[in-house]
Amino acid sequence: MDLLGIPSDAGASRRGCSMGPEALRVAGLRETLVSLGHDVADLGDLRKESGLNQLSVAARQAEVLALAAQSSEKGLASLQRGRLPIFLGGDHSLSMGTISGVARHCAAAKRALHVLWIDAHGDFNTPATSPSGNLHGMPLALLCNEPEFGEAFRGDWRGSVDPQNVTILGARSIDRAERQLLETRGVDVVDMRRIDELGAAALMREIIEKVQATDAHLHVSLDVDAIDPAIAPGAGTPVAGGLTYREAHIAMEMLHDAQCLGSLDIVELNLFLDHAGRSAEILVDLTASLFGRQIMPRQPTRRLIV
């Protein structure tokens, strides 16, 4: 696997997630994966433009799009080398680039792509629906080819994902017009109420079966704010009532057992808001579960027993 840092907060509402890649490194991400037997290369960080506090909207948008173009190339190259890319954010707008690279790889390999977006939010706003104007609330809509993005957003990312092949997990804060779009486009939103009612394991089983039915490449995009802010405070837009520690882990453990993961984003970790590295450590532990850490040994099962 390849680690690639994208240290930008140009798409976020609060600064500080630009320090996410370094926080994940300090929390031992690479060493943890190596201890699980994986071959891990750290490709370092993409270069960001400035880091000034008072960037204009246009300058922030330009930074997001420039980094997206680089991430798309790096991600595609990593997949073409037969590696599994892990992108370290950085705010969630970077996923327009990472997923567009993944989508290009899937198109070349004639493979379906499924995106599992683990997030408190839908990230399905457009410039027309967004109440904040922040680009980290819009990447899924752009990837799913919503028409309300201007010419400036031209690029491989536009329309590289089919909204019917997107699952959002852990949602509990969706804007009104965003909810309408998600419904119209047929995105499956596994919100916190469904998790309360049916349980994380049963819902994960359904998601995994859908991915396996078409032998799709699975891209997981993990936003730290999906996890309950009481245990993961390092989030710029925290929302109460998130995934518990075990709900998040069972999701990762089941994904590992299903052996269907092809690429991963770990995003929005805000070191400036975190408490003594707690959120960074939770993300490293979740990544460990995703890549094979087990409480007691188990055989991987392609088909899960219902």
Q: CB of residue 303 vs Mn ion: minimum separation in angstroms?
A: 31
**According to the binding rule CB under 5 A, does residue 9 interact with Mn ion?**
no
**According to the binding rule CB under 5 A, does residue 253 interact with Mn ion?**
no
Helix axes 95-108 and 57-80, enclosed angle (nearest 10): 30
Window 204 to 223, contacts with ligand DIR (CB under 6 A): 223
Set 92, 105, 217, 249: catalytic member: 92
**According to the binding rule CB under 5 A, does residue 123 interact with Mn ion?**
yes
Q: CB of residue 125 vs ligand DIR: minimum separation in angstroms?
A: 4
- CA-closest candidate to residue 133, choices 12, 304, 262, 278: 12
Separation between Cα atoms, residue 147 and residue 132, nearest integer Å: 19
Set 146, 265, 268, 281: catalytic member: 268
Q: CB of residue 223 vs ligand DIR: minimum separation in angstroms?
A: 6
Q: Residues 9, 123, 188, 247: which binds ligand DIR (CB under 6 A)?
A: 123
**According to the binding rule CB under 6 A, does residue 100 interact with ligand DIR?**
no
| Binding-site partner at residue 281 among Mn ion, ligand DIR, none, CB < 5 to 8 Å by type | none
**According to the binding rule CB under 6 A, does residue 137 interact with ligand DIR?**
yes
Q: CB of residue 173 vs Mn ion: minimum separation in angstroms?
A: 8
Nearer to Mn ion, 52 or 276 (CB): 276
**According to the binding rule CB under 6 A, does residue 146 interact with ligand DIR?**
no
| Binding-site partner at residue 93 among Mn ion, ligand DIR, none, CB < 5 to 8 Å by type | none
**According to the binding rule CB under 6 A, does residue 72 interact with ligand DIR?**
no
Nearer to Mn ion, 119 or 247 (CB): 119
Binding site for ligand DIR (CB under 6 A): 92, 121, 123, 125, 130, 132, 134, 136-137, 175, 223, 237
**Residues with catalytic function:** 92, 119, 121, 123, 136, 223, 225, 268
Residues engaged in binding Mn ion (CB under 5 A): 92, 119-121, 123, 223, 225
